[in-house]
């Protein structure tokens, strides 16, 4: 559950998608904000396995977190990634993306 209000999330999305003409450009704008503001690397856990999120990427399926465990790498949808406690700085942009996806 997001700790951000709809008004806060709407404001973040508006900032990210200013001057965007279609959904693809909006997705790119949100990706840029996540990429620029999410504090990486951070530790997370995927299916009970500790991983390090080192970066985010934009794929045809949406925005993904690139998770590392040793030499192994796996892309996990950023909205499916269990976030750690404490939350990394910039997590509000993930929540803004979640809000945008729900409204699309």
Q: What are 21-65's pLDDT values in tens digits?
A: 999 999 999 999 999 999 999 999 999 999 999 999 999 989 999
d(CA 101, CA 39): 22
pLDDT band of residue 104 (cuts 50, 70, 90) is low
* CB-CB contact of 96 with 38 (8 Å): no
Q: Which residues have CB under 8 Å from 39's CB, separation 6+?
A: 88, 89, 90
* pLDDT category of residue 3 using cuts at 50, 70 and 90: confident
Q: What is the arithmetic mean of pLDDT over 8-29?
A: 94
pTM of the model: 0.92
Please tell me the predicted confidence (pLDDT) of residue 33.
Answer: 97
pLDDT at 1 over 80: no
């Amino acid at each position: 559950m997001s700790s951000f209000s709809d008004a806060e999330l709407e404001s973040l999305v508006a900032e990210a998608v200013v001057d965007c003409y279609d959904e693809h450009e909006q997705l790119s704008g949100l990706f840029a904000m996540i990429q620029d503001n999410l504090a990486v690397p951070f530790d997370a856990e995927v299916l009970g396995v500790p991983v390090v999120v080192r970066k985010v990427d934009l794929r045809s399926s949406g925005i993904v977190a690139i998770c590392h465990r040793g030499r192994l790498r796996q892309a996990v949808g950023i909205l499916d990634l269990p976030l750690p406690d404490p939350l990394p700085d910039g997590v509000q942009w993930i929540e803004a993306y979640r809000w945008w996806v729900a409204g699309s």
